[in-house]
Chains A and B, each alone.
Chain A
Amino acid sequence: MAKNQVTTKSKQRNRNNVAYLFVLPFVVVFLIFSVYPVLRTLYLSFTSYKGFGDPVWLGLDNYKRVLTDKFFWRAFGNTLKIWGVNIVVQLGLAFLLTIVFSDIKYKMHGLPIFRAIYYLPNLIACTSVAFLFKTLLDWKYGSVNQMLISAGITSTQINWLGDVNIAPYVISIVGAWMWFGNSFIVLMAGVQGISTDYFEAAAIDGCGRWTRFFKITIPLLKPILLYTCITSLIGGLQLFDLPYLMNGPQGGTAGQPNGVLQTAVMYLYKFGFETRQTGYASAIAYTLFIIILIVSIIQFKWLGKED
């Protein structure tokens, strides 16, 4: 009996050891390439490190500087503005398509083809998208303006990327065009996971399309919506590539015109890689991380409170 117990324990221990060995490669890679950089960045955020030499400990000075740096907050505001419009358009478009494709009355055919087509912009490299739209939206030579003028919609060229009141929203729309296919697929998957019995029963009971949408689709899609909103927020607050490439004549971190296209991560990049203030850039990164964390928790609580 005692011998059997010992053997069983020994087997358990062996089994556990084998499991550790299996996860070890991932854990080691994760520790080296994810955990270490994160902790190192945290350490650097308390120093005046410039990318070389020995870091000098500054305590909370970098964080105080971030909190009082109005240009960081301007960049953060720009990010929210661009992301806010982007998410409304992106989710709106995705929802609209989801409604159309999931409606039991329409019974749309060819969903996989449309899904692939809508997803295509997501597959194009951001650099290509930026170059394409920068060319199309060129103030004096862009074909968008030429078409608008030819169609009599406007009599003068619109400075899409040079007007401070227009440029942020142009980035939002281009971003929405790029990413709505992804949201559509996620939402569609969520809708397809809802049993058609609910919709049929509701239809028999005389519920209209909108009632079905708001009373059945939306509540049952809540987890998916939460996921989409949080991932979009995290991605949105890290927005970098599109505005970086599309601002000013040659792109860059200045966020032309007049800094309205400078996002928080572009601001971080300016300090991390252009002015070589790695310590301060690390503090900006952690401030952003904390903000994203807080907003994500709020979103979780808010969207998940009725569950």
Chain B
Amino acid sequence: MKLKKVVSALLVSTMLLSCVACGNNNKNTDDANKDNNDTKTPSTEAGDDANTPDDSADVTGDGKLVIWTLAKDLETFAEKYMESHDVDVETVVIEPANYPTKVQTALNAGEKEPDIIVGEPQMLEDFFDAGYFEDLNQAPYNAQDYADQIVDYVWEVGQDADGIQRAISYQITPAGFYYRRDIAQDVFGTEDPEEIGKLFADYPTILDTAKKLKDKGYRIFASDGELNFFSGNTAWVVDNKLTVSEQRHAYMDLCVELYKQDLTAYAAQWSTPWYQAMSGPVPVLTADSDVNVWDATEFASATEGGATTEIFAYGLPAWGVLTMRDNVGETSGKWGVCAGPTYGFSGGTYIGVSANSERKDTAWDFVKFCTLNEETADWWIKKSEGDTVSLLSALEKHKDDGNEVYGGQKLYSFWLEQAEGLDYSVVTRYDTAIGNAWSNAITAIKTDEKSKEDAIAGFYDEVAATYPELTIERE
């Protein structure tokens, strides 16, 4: 009996101790930080020249920094940061789908770590409303003093509804069409990005371009998702009212026609065939096609008989430079990039300081290191082999850099131009769900499952069910 009591008492004490220890984890940190007043009050002087690397080395704190990120890039940034700073950076990469929940749970519970949190544009509005990100406009950060150093739209994305800066991204992600120069020359007699951009100027023109390409044996896109980043330059919700612009309808018509007229290669975006089509021919696929793409002999004979096609263009944001680089194979050097029918962007990792952090000084220094430091930007351009940074001075410095995959095209100046055209005010927190509902309607029409009227009525129903607070005036 005595033994039982001892064992049970031990078990219970161990459990309780664990609970207490877990709960006290941050208190220990608190105590540690109490000894170092600097960690609670950032000491970095506002208005410092962030491009001077030396100032970021002047960091105080307990020598630790915890980052929760959804982009692996920050691991690389953290390693670079540790080379020049006496700070132990712990980077936790969390899968994007789980990221908001993890951050929400931790910060709602008052956790002092992570010190650095990040977000993609579609997450930020909720994060800002929740107060997770530190106000970077207040002293001693005074982020507004750095506003003219970063591309405008990136600066705006990082602001909350009251215009307070809460996050900054190290990259810009405007979208463009990546096209094959050799095919352009063959079909349109030119490969000049400006001229090819005209072939994507608006939705009806894209349809004409697609038909011309098909007549010559090519397909304009691998999938019919290439227009996703150009689905409309208007806001879905204005003053709490659902707005479906003419542009959205034109986009819908184009998607339906591309599908119905066999103008794409029907490869699902991000699937293996989609990537394969970047490097060479893929079978011509229509509803009646029966080429066995897995049979090398059959594939070869189909190629001889002209039953394959090549893909003209991919619609991707600036980070697509890296996707293409890794998949273009022998077509490297034959690519170009041009503007799409609307300005668009997607993604981008926005870095900020957790409002609960007790290492705000170090955290702000890290944010500046990643986003406002020209040396870091130079290093990142080289390290990432083509990612497009948001620091204007770095973009200016590299504006004449040619990218060999794209025939030596000066991509940094192109992306900057595209970024300057972006109107971030059209982005709302409703975009993902409403965009999905619109996409459902398009699918229903193109597969003849519903008439256009019924599909659009279904779209309104879906939006009304998802956001009852929105005013919806049906067409």
Contact indicator B433/A275 (Cβ below 8 Å): yes
Q: Interface residue tally of chain B, by bracket?
A: 35 or more
Cα–Cα distance between A50 and B265 once the two chains are bound (Å): 42
The reply to whether the CB of B301 lies closer than 8 angstroms to some CB of chain A is no
The interface size bin for chain A is 35 or more
- A92 part of interface (Cβ distance < 8 Å): no
Please determine whether B271 and A249 come into contact, CB atoms closer than 8 angstroms: yes
Whole-angstrom CA separation of A254 from B443 in the bound complex: 11
Choice from B8, B292, B444 contacting A22 with Cβ under 8 Å: B8
CB pair A71–B126 under 8 Å, yes or no, is no
Stretch in contact with the other chain, from B194-202, B203-211, B283-291: B283-291
Give min CB distance, B459 to chain A, whole Å. Answer: 11
User: In the complex, what residues of B have CB within 8 A of residue A150's CB?
Assistant: 292
Residues of B within 8 A of A29 (CB): 15
Please determine whether B285 and A140 come into contact, CB atoms closer than 8 angstroms. Answer: yes
Contact status B273-A141, CB under 8 Å: yes
Contact between B1 and A164, CB atoms less than 8 A apart? no
Q: Indicate which residue in B8, B97, B126 contacts A276 across the interface (CB closer than 8 Å).
A: B126
Stretch at the interface among B158-166, B331-339, B344-352, B462-470: B462-470
Interface-centre pick from A21, A65, A141 (highest chain B CB count, 10 A): A141
Q: Which residues of B contact A15 (CB under 8 A)?
A: 1
Across the interface, name the chain A residue whose C-beta is closest to B450.
Answer: A258
Annotate A35-61 by CB proximity to B: 1 below 8 A, 0 otherwise.
000000000000000111100000000
Asked if A51 and B440 sit within 8 Å, CB to CB, the answer is: no
Question: When each residue 277-313 of chain B gets 1 if its CB lies under 8 Å from chain A and 0 otherwise, what string results?
Answer: 0000000010111101111000000000000000000
Docked CA distance A139–B290 (Å): 11
| A contact residues vs B (CB 8 Å cutoff) | 14-15, 18, 21-22, 24-25, 28-29, 50-53, 65, 69-72, 135, 138-141, 143, 146, 149-150, 155-157, 162-164, 249-250, 252-254, 256-259, 270-271, 273-276
Q: B294 contacts which of A69, A146, A270 (Cβ < 8 Å)?
A: A146
Could you pull out 25 A-B pairs where Cβ atoms are within 8 angstroms?
Answer: A21-B5, A51-B100, A70-B461, A71-B461, A138-B268, A140-B265, A140-B289, A143-B294, A146-B292, A149-B292, A156-B288, A249-B271, A250-B270, A254-B440, A256-B440, A257-B449, A258-B440, A258-B449, A258-B450, A259-B440, A274-B433, A275-B432, A275-B433, A275-B466, A275-B467
Chain A residues within 8 Å of B433, by CB? 270, 274-275
Residues of chain A lying within 8 A (CB to CB) of residue B289: 140, 157
Whether A51 lies near B15 (C-beta < 8 A) is: no
B29 within 8 A of A: no
The residue in chain A whose Cβ has the minimal distance to the Cβ of B432 is A274
B101 located at the interface, meaning its Cβ lies under 8 Å from any Cβ of chain A in the complex: yes
CB distance from B302 to the nearest CB of A (A): 12
- Cα-based distance from A50 to B108 in the complex (angstroms): 12
Which among A69, A156, A258 is the interface contact of B465 at CB below 8 angstroms? A69
Complex CA distance for A172 and B383, rounded to whole angstroms: 46
Contact between chains at B11 and A25 (CB < 8 Å)? yes
Q: Which of A14, A51, A72, A274 contacts B1 (CB 8 A)?
A: A14
Inter-chain contacts of A276 with B (CB < 8 A): 126
- In the assembled complex, the CB of A29 is this many whole angstroms from the nearest CB of chain B, namely 8
Contact across chains for A149 and B290 when beta carbons are under 8 A apart: yes
Per-residue CB contact flags for chain B residues 447-464 toward chain A (1 = under 8 Å, else 0) read: 101100000000001100
Q: Which residue of A lies closest to B273 (CB)?
A: A141
Give the nearest-CB partner of A11 in chain B.
B1
In this complex, what residue of B is CB-closest to A251?
A: B97
Inter-chain CA distance A164–B468, complex, in Å, is 27
Q: Which of B4, B5, B293, B468 contacts A146 (CB 8 A)?
A: B293
The answer, yes or no, to whether B272 is at the interface (CB within 8 Å) is yes
Considering only CB atoms, which chain A residue lies closest to B132 in the complex? A52
Residue B362 at the A interface, CB < 8 A? no
Q: Is residue B318 within 8 Å, beta carbon to beta carbon, of the partner chain?
A: no
Q: Of all chain B residues, which has the CB nearest A271? A: B466
Check if A252 sits within 8 Å of B129, measured CB to CB.
no
Task: Answer whether residue B21 sits at the interface, using C-beta atoms and an 8 A cutoff.
Answer: no
Residues of chain A lying within 8 A (CB to CB) of residue B268:
138-139, 249
Asked if A141 and B293 sit within 8 Å, CB to CB, the answer is yes
**Given A141-B273, A258-B440, 8 other A-B residues pairs in contact with their CB atoms under 8 A:** A18-B5, A25-B15, A29-B15, A50-B126, A52-B104, A141-B272, A155-B288, A156-B287
The answer to whether the Cβ of B340 comes within 8 Å of any Cβ in the partner chain is no
Are B465 and A71 within 8 A (Cβ)?
yes
Q: Is the CB of B468 within 8 A of A65?
A: yes
Q: Is the CB of A257 within 8 A of B443?
A: yes
Give A253 to B468 CA distance when docked, in angstroms. 19
Complex CA distance for A256 and B439, rounded to whole angstroms: 9
Instruction: Answer yes or no: B436 CB below 8 A from chain A CBs.
Output: yes
User: In the complex, are the beta carbons of B273 and A140 less than 8 A apart?
Assistant: yes
Given contacts A69-B465, A146-B294, A149-B292, contact A18 B1 (CB under 8 A): yes
Query: Which B residues are CB-close (under 8 A) to A50?
Result: 126
- A18-B4, A21-B9, A24-B12 known; A256 and B294 CB under 8 Å? no
Given A254-B440, A276-B126 in contact, is the A164-B447 Cβ separation under 8 Å?
Answer: yes
Instruction: Give the complex CA separation of A52 and B110 in angstroms.
Output: 12
**Residues of chain A with a CB closer than 8 A to B11's CB:** 21-22, 25
Residue of B nearest to A273 (CB): B101
Please state if A52 and B129 are interface contacts (CB–CB under 8 Å).
Answer: yes
* In the complex, B269 has a CB within 8 A of chain A: yes
Nearest residue (CB) in B for A143 is B294
Instruction: Give chain A residues whose Cβ lies under 8 Å from the Cβ of B270.
Output: 249-250
Q: Which B342-367 residues have a C-beta within 8 angstroms of A?
A: none
Query: In the complex, how many angstroms separate the beta carbon of B266 from the nearest chain A beta carbon?
Result: 4
In the assembled complex, which residues on chain A have CB atoms less than 8 Å from the CB atom of B265?
A: 140
